[in-house]
Amino acid sequence: VDGDGRKRFDLTLQQGRSEFLPGRQTDTWGVNGAYLGPTIRVSRGDKVAMDVRNELPDTTTVHWHGMRLPAKMDGGPHQTIGAGKTWSPYWTVDQPAASLWYHPHLHGETAKHVYRGVTGMLIVDDDTVPKDLPSEYGVDDIPLVVQDKKFTEDGRLDLDAPGPLGLQSTYGLLGDQILVNGTRDPYLEVGAERVRFRLLNGSNARSFNFGFADDRSFSLIGTDSGLLPKPVRMNRVRLSAGERAEIVADLTPGEEVVLRSFAPKEGGGFPQDRLAGADDEFDLVEIRAKDRLTEAKPLPERLADTPEITPGKDAVERDFELSGTSKINGDTMDMRRIDEVVPAGATEIWTVRNPGNPHSFHIHEVAFRVLDINGEPPPPAMRGRKDTVYLPPSATARLAVQFGPHTDPDTPYMFHCHMLEHEDQGMMGQFTIV
Ligand code: C2O
Ligand code: CU
Ligand code: CU
């Protein structure tokens, strides 16, 4: 904390070497280290200040995904940080507790920069979170950054890997190896009866369908933008690129259980599903419970009472159609074109149509609620507060989108597909808040 009462964070983007495959090194990028970045933890009400120093050979940006903040602080494609330069955004945290993340956002280069390793978690706390939720970081509150990768035969991260069947996948880059928190084939020893996992799908393109190998159920307690009103029992949670979920699982002494991604299935059959990697399964982490576990408190029945996002009767409606792998409403991204202008504090209805392949739709700055998908109420895992939503093939989702108070007619925020190759190819648009 500095003299002005700001919590300061020093982040250095740097090149390094990492060993993912035994005995094989590869060039990687990271934040304050060779690969990935530290978990940043802030609380509602904090004044934060970041010093982001770019020691990479290229210009990049760092975007605070899910953070509600002024457009100039957002770290989108307009807030570039040249090689050797430092960018120093600051803002006041004002949003409910949630698991957010940060990653580069240089237009046209985002997929590469994220793939090389510039990614970290950004956790927002607030004092309304029930004390009985597991919350001891690294002990019973575990962040899991899950990413798929491809390696060349000599163990280097492969940025040009062809997709399944030798064709480019309908998602973009799909890897056949999984890194969890930067580790291949990881295990985790746990000494608590009840564990919270903060799941981030930090992949370029792939969707995961999280569950446990023995099919045990768990409680979903939070989605992208905050905790649910109450826990929901389930045994699968699907996350497309950029989405997060918080789950709580119970363990018995001495047991081993594997957190797995089951085939996410797009329902497209062959070769559609193959090209989307939708029939792939992966073991993600082996969880080894110790022989003695600390006893858990019962899971609270009420987790949060953040008011539901509800559009008024005369809410402005906007329509977005995602087409191919590069367009929204018929256009590719243009850094000089403002596509939408939204009044500060508005709650609008955004209808997103996806006539084609799977996409993952993200809006900066906002929190939204999925009102319906193909006219039906969303499944339980999609009912919470969100900033990114999976759009299956041929789906239409209606979102109630709540915009923040920070106005700036000259600096846009982004909305885009979070499958990073689609985003880089232009499936992105810009809006301002005025
Ligand atoms: Cu996580 Cu515009 O991105
Ligand atoms: Cu974002
Ligand atoms: Cu897409």
Which atom of ligand 1 has the smallest separation from the CA of 428? Answer: 2
Reported as a pLDDT band with limits 50, 70 and 90, residue 167 is confident
Report CA(301)–ligand 2 centroid distance (Å).
30
Give the domain ranges of the chain. 6-125, 141-294, 317-433
CATH of domain 6-125: 2.60.40.420
Considering the chain, what percentage of its residues have pLDDT values greater than 70? 100
The answer on pLDDT for 273 being more than 90 is no
Q: What percent of the chain has pLDDT over 90?
A: 91
Can you give the pLDDT at residue 419?
Answer: 96
Q: Which atom of ligand 1 is nearest to the CA of 388?
A: 1
Burial of 66 per CB tally in 10 Å (0-12, 13-18, 19+) = buried
Residue identified by tokens 């367009």 is 327
Q: What mean pLDDT do residues 56-85 have?
A: 98
Same fold, 6-125 and 317-433: yes
pLDDT, tens digit, 9 for 90 and up, residues 104-159 = 999 999 999 999 999 999 999 999 999 999 999 999 999 999 999 999 988 999 88
| Token duo for residue 247 | 């789950």
**Looking at domain 317-433, which of 2.60.40.420, 3.40.50.150, 3.10.20.30, 1.20.1070.10 is its CATH number?**
2.60.40.420
150-175 burial, b for 16+ CB within 10 Å, e for fewer?
bbeeebbbbeeeebbeeebbbbbbbb
CA of 324 to the centre of ligand 3 (A): 8
pLDDT band at 357 (very low <50, low <70, confident <90, very high): confident
Which residues contact ligand 1 via a Cβ below 6 A?
A: 63, 65, 103, 105, 242, 362, 364, 414, 416, 418
Residues in the 5 Å CB sphere of ion ligand 2: 65, 364
SS3 (DSSP) at 22? coil
Looking at the domain 141-294, which fold is it? Immunoglobulin-like (2.60.40)
pLDDT for position 2: 87
Please give the distance, rounded to the nearest whole angstrom, from the Cα atom of residue 12 to the centre of ligand 3: 30
